Amino acid sequence: MDTTGTGTAARTSAALPAATHVAIVGAGPTGLALAVTLAEAGIECVLLDKLAEGANTSRAGVVHARTLEVLDTLGASRPLIERGLIVDRFTVRDGRRTLARMRFAGLPTPHPYTLLVPQYETEAVLLERLRALGGDVHRPYEVTGATQDDDGVTLTMATGETLRARYAVGADGMHSAVREAAGIGFTGSAYPQSFVLADVTMDWAPGRDEVSLNFHGDGLVVVAPLPQDRYRVVAIADEAPGNPDAAYVQALLDARAPGQARVTSVVWGSHFRVHHRVADAYRAGRLLLAGDAAHVHSPAGGQGMNTGIQDGYALGRALAEDRLDSYEATRRPVALRVVAFTDRMTRVATTRRAPARALRDLLLPLVSRIPAVRTRLTTELAELNYR
């Protein structure tokens, strides 16, 4: 278990106010980005989270170019870049064979790369920025109900306390209490496979200059470098253990990337199921959704946290500029596109039919040599189409 200090530790929360303009439920990256955006615009908000302190472990580890552009605007990109690892190459392999190699250099952005950094660092930087603007997170407050009327929303806590707000935003994840209270459907389904995630120390032959997606008949495995000489390993595993150890990760990599890894320790690990779902609406009256409360999808490409941070920023600007009706019209199509893109990536990577794998491995090296195709793929991964 990683016990690295993150800057997200709880400090004594001020008493819960009776009312605010915007109540935000969930202090992950989405909720924090929304709170910072509102604070910069001078709009009163209260950010609630049910945990007593921020988590020191997390699944997201990639910050893409478009998200860094948003963080530029919020005054949070520089300290995050200082905590992360800059990588500008994405490589697709089948065993030792390189099928495609794509670079982010040359993309039309101030950040032509991907930043590898654990999610808790992203949360810590956003929280520091929020505190610098006079805000904070109120913990631990679990929202159990939300009712709305013509003038606002009343949130009820597990403690029985209430908070009145003009608007309430659910940034509280896939099992969102706000989405449930709003009666908004969450259309989609789950992938049949489970995924295993582990942050490890290891010797990795491809090195620390790339993110590597490795195809295999048993399922894909993604290896990405992280700061502090660590690597993030994400893999499909039909029977993934709850707490993968070094022997398990070593065996997995031996099977799918033979001779390329020597695992020395597991810092943190977990397993999870993946859904692909999008909320049927992003707003029901004065209740709104953002981040995983509005969309969940495959981890392929590292799109989830990035899309959520961009949701938070877009919603904050919409609230500040009194154009709330534009939020869903702008962001829900992005979620649909991200879900479709990551689903295609997952299905291509996870096919187990030998003829389909052979055709994939034949065509990918050919099409990836076409400059327009490479640019289109890297632009989509960097989320630069979503400005």
- Res 239 pLDDT > 80: no
Is 69 part of a structural domain of the chain?
Answer: yes
Mean pLDDT of the chain: 91
Is 67 part of a structural domain of the chain?
Answer: yes
Is 157 part of a structural domain of the chain?
Answer: yes
Is 240 part of a structural domain of the chain?
Answer: no
Range of the domain at 323: 19-85+115-188+276-345
Band of pLDDT at residue 182, cut at 50, 70 and 90: very high
End-to-end Cα separation, the chain, in angstroms: 37
- Burial (CB < 10 A; 0-12, 13-18, 19+), residue 136, is middle
Is 124 part of a structural domain of the chain?
Answer: yes
Higher pLDDT pick, 273 / 151? 151
What residues have CB less than 8 Å from 192, skipping those under 6 apart?
none
Give the tens place of pLDDT for each residue, 128-147: 999 999 999 999 999 999 99
The residue to which tokens 């089948």 are assigned: 94
Is 203 part of a structural domain of the chain?
Answer: no
Is 379 part of a structural domain of the chain?
Answer: no
The total domain count for the chain is 1
In this predicted structure, what is the pLDDT of residue 241? 79
Give the tens place of pLDDT for each residue, 307-329: 999 999 999 999 999 999 999 99
For residues 206-225, average pLDDT: 90
Q: Which CATH number fits the domain that encloses residue 301?
A: 3.50.50.60
In this predicted structure, what is the pLDDT of residue 14? 64
In this predicted structure, what is the pLDDT of residue 24? 98
Is 271 part of a structural domain of the chain?
Answer: no
